[in-house]
Amino acid sequence: MTAVKLPLPAHIHRLSTQVANQIAAGEVVERPASVLKELLENALDAGATRIDIDIEQGGLKLIRVRDNGCGIYREEMPLALSRHATSKIKDARDLEGVASLGFRGEALPSISSVARLTLISRTADADSGWQLQGDGSDAFGDPMPAPHLTGTTVEVRDLFYNTPARRKFLRAEKTEFAHLEEVVKRIALSRFDVTISLKHNNKTVKLFRTAEDAAAEQKRIAEVCGAAFVEQSIRLDFAAAGVRLWGWIAQPAFSRSQADLQYFFVNGRVVRDKLVTHAIRQAYQDVLFAGRHPAYVLYLQIDPVQVDVNVHPTKHEVRFREGRYVHDFLFRAIHKALADLRPGAKPEVVYETAAPDSASAPAAPSVSATSWFNRSSQRVMPLQVQEQLAVYASMHPSQQTLVAEPSADAATSEDMPPLGFALAQLHGVYVLAQNARGLVIVDMHAAHERITYERMKAAFHGDGLKSQPLLVPVTITVSEREADLVDEQRDFFTTLGFEISRLGPEAVVVRQVPALLKNANIEQLVRDVLSDVVVHGHSQRVSHEINELLATMACHGSVRANRQLSLQEMNALLRDMERTERSGQCNHGRPTWTQLSMGELDKLFLRGQ
């Protein structure tokens, strides 16, 4: 046997502090924006109420953050620049319940190992400020006196000057500055009580003043997210069992082609979290146009013990100890806020339990958390105005018939319902109505489709869809595969309100249909349902996709364009919209109605200008 010649082991040696810090920097310091994020978090942790940011050349030349926080003791300045030194936690137990943004004690040493860093700081009781330079090693000179008010300035010059490989990855000044701006926006949204200014190459680019009231908060949101977002978003505020979610969500019609307007904060820390994104997407599922992204600025307040922030060095990800509960909570809160989006409905603020911080862990998904959600959100409409529904009722067999004569002129603004009264129908597509504010325009098919869909969902999940016999059974030629399906899935079709059976190898006969859809084109309806079932496979799968299937059916059961409606029918449609959840959008996320106020109309005619 010949011995394999092994190489001699290389000798193990300890890395210099500077190299160790540079390696750590690889994880936290990717670009100027990551430096800025760390510095801003430190300023906030120090209790600053004013932060001034100076950037030169997209942060490649200079990133300077000055705050009016508590400052650092002169003797501890070297520690601030040393690895694993922090004032924010003491031991492992403190890790379970971190309330500060930082806690790892590695940002300043990492940054100082890949850039020229100067720390200037003064505590409230010191006679002057002190200045110290760091280069990522443990060799510090003595701090030198430097003029400074109470607070801290950290100056970072020539990022990656000593690590050319990383410098190569930096982009143009403009791109890097865009990243920096995004960091500032997030911090601005996270703390309305802090004034933040941002200068680029000595020019002020952003100034966020302390926002003390709701109007000022809205102004800040508009500055960050655009005025259109503020106009088309709703405010929500939900609390249950120690968790609170508040903020703004855009109405589905204001969706984005990219996921670029999504801000989510957990206890003040911006996070990008899969669980969160998933819960919100699900809540929007039924109202958002396919492929579009919802927009939101949301704040989750939860006992810090319930969140693990020590998942990744950049602290962008978190782990919830009760992930399922949090997912559920987010979904319900947003789903409900969206369901309340009806003409005239005001999104409500719901508090079921006492103030969130007084309650403890949301360990057991409590009864109260569920009960506030399940409470019927269908508030009773003021029924001062009743309508003759004879004709419209034929489209909705289950609709009760009310009696009275509505009229746009006769109604005073008090008893005017939110969508007002119908005036006319335009080209068989739009309903025109007059309400207190001016003109209402309704996309008749889209609106009716949503109403039918919501009714079908309610019926399906309630007593089941009621079925109605056809006077004359309808025979339909289908593929053999589809005819097989009719045999195999007979029970499933029954739950949908159909009575349908096989007539031959490639023919089926329909004897009963869902009562809500009795006016639909039966042949088309059955063909579409069959092809949906073929696509989604066996009925088990289908029950997951049931909403899609119901939406397909609802589409068939809704008034088509070019169908002439009487004023009564139109008014009945308006009242139904006011009563129906999510009726602000059709099943595909398009708006169902719009308002032109008298002011807007006046503008069109240059009236009173």
91-110 binders of ligand ADP (CB under 6 A):
102-108
Query: In 396-498, at which residue ranges do the beta strands (DSSP E only) sit?
Result: 421-426, 430-434, 438-443, 467-477
State which of residues 32, 58, 71, 102 lies at the interface with Mg ion (CB under 5 A). Answer: 102
Task: Mark the segment that binds Mg ion (CB under 5 A) among 100-108, 123-131, 180-188, 190-198.
Answer: 100-108
Task: Mark the segment that binds Mg ion (CB under 5 A) among 13-21, 103-111, 293-301, 381-389.
Answer: 103-111
The answer to whether 266 contacts ligand ADP (rule: CB under 6 A) is no
The answer to whether 107 contacts Mg ion (rule: CB under 5 A) is yes
Q: Which DSSP letter does residue 591 get?
A: B
Least separation in angstroms between CB 306 and ligand ADP: 21
Strands 296-301 and 262-266 come out as parallel
Least separation in angstroms between CB 181 and Mg ion: 21
The answer to whether 395 contacts ligand ADP (rule: CB under 6 A) is no
Strands 116-122 and 129-134 come out as antiparallel
- Cα 579 from Cα 312, distance rounded (Å): 47
Least separation in angstroms between CB 107 and Mg ion: 4
Q: Which residue, 186 or 256, is less far from Mg ion as judged by CB? A: 186
State which of residues 46, 60, 465, 574 lies at the interface with ligand ADP (CB under 6 A). Answer: 46
Q: Give the strand order in the sheet containing 269-270.
A: 269-270, 262-266, 296-301, 243-250, 233-240, 350-351
Least separation in angstroms between CB 307 and ligand ADP: 17
Residue number with the shortest CB distance to ligand ADP? 102
Number of residues that bind ligand ADP (CB under 6 A): 21
State which of residues 29, 35, 72, 280 lies at the interface with ligand ADP (CB under 6 A). Answer: 72
Query: In 478-548, at which residue ranges do the beta strands (DSSP E only) sit?
Result: 499-504, 507-514
Q: Which residue, 18 or 42, is less far from Mg ion as judged by CB? A: 42
The answer to whether 236 contacts ligand ADP (rule: CB under 6 A) is no
Number of residues that bind Mg ion (CB under 5 A): 3
Neighbours of 107 (CB within 10 A): 24
Strand, helix or coil for residue 432: strand
Least separation in angstroms between CB 301 and ligand ADP: 22
134 binds, among Mg ion, ligand ADP, none (CB under 5 to 8 A by kind): none
Residue with tokens 């809160």: 333
Q: Which residue, 108 or 241, is less far from ligand ADP as judged by CB? A: 108
The answer to whether 362 contacts Mg ion (rule: CB under 5 A) is no
Least separation in angstroms between CB 20 and Mg ion: 18
Q: Which residue, 100 or 251, is less far from ligand ADP as judged by CB? A: 100
If 0-12 CB within 10 Å is exposed, 13-18 middle and 19+ buried, where does residue 87 land? middle
The answer to whether 34 contacts ligand ADP (rule: CB under 6 A) is no
- Cα 585 from Cα 342, distance rounded (Å): 9
Kind plus residue range of the DSSP H or E element containing 269: strand 269-270
The answer to whether 100 contacts Mg ion (rule: CB under 5 A) is no
The answer to whether 449 contacts ligand ADP (rule: CB under 6 A) is no
Q: What is the 3-state secondary structure (H, E, C) of 375-414?
A: CCCCCCCCCCCCCECHHHHHHCCCCCCECCCCCCCCCCCC
The answer to whether 457 contacts ligand ADP (rule: CB under 6 A) is no
36-75 binders of Mg ion (CB under 5 A):
42
Q: Which residue, 109 or 356, is less far from Mg ion as judged by CB? A: 109
Hey, what long-range contacts does 305-312 have (CB within 8 A, 24 or more apart)?
305/96, 305/97, 305/361, 306/361, 306/362, 307/266, 307/267, 308/96, 309/98, 309/103, 309/269, 310/95, 310/98, 310/103, 310/104
The answer to whether 69 contacts ligand ADP (rule: CB under 6 A) is yes
The answer to whether 25 contacts ligand ADP (rule: CB under 6 A) is no
The answer to whether 194 contacts Mg ion (rule: CB under 5 A) is no
Strand, helix or coil for residue 584: coil
Alpha-carbon separation of residue 229 from 87, 225, 248, 295, 314 (angstroms): 39, 6, 9, 8, 28
Which residues 6+ apart lie within 8 Å of 516 measured at CB?
396, 397, 398, 452, 455, 456, 459, 465, 466, 497, 557
Q: Which DSSP letter does residue 16 get?
A: P
The answer to whether 268 contacts ligand ADP (rule: CB under 6 A) is no
The answer to whether 428 contacts ligand ADP (rule: CB under 6 A) is no
Query: In 273-415, at which residue ranges do the beta strands (DSSP E only) sit?
Result: 296-301, 307-308, 319-320, 350-351
131-190 binders of ligand ADP (CB under 6 A):
152
Q: Which residue, 80 or 326, is less far from Mg ion as judged by CB? A: 80
The answer to whether 51 contacts ligand ADP (rule: CB under 6 A) is no
Q: Which residues of the chain form contacts with Mg ion (CB under 5 A)?
A: 42, 102, 107
Q: Which residues of the chain form contacts with ligand ADP (CB under 6 A)?
A: 38, 42-43, 46, 67, 69-72, 80, 86-88, 102-108, 152
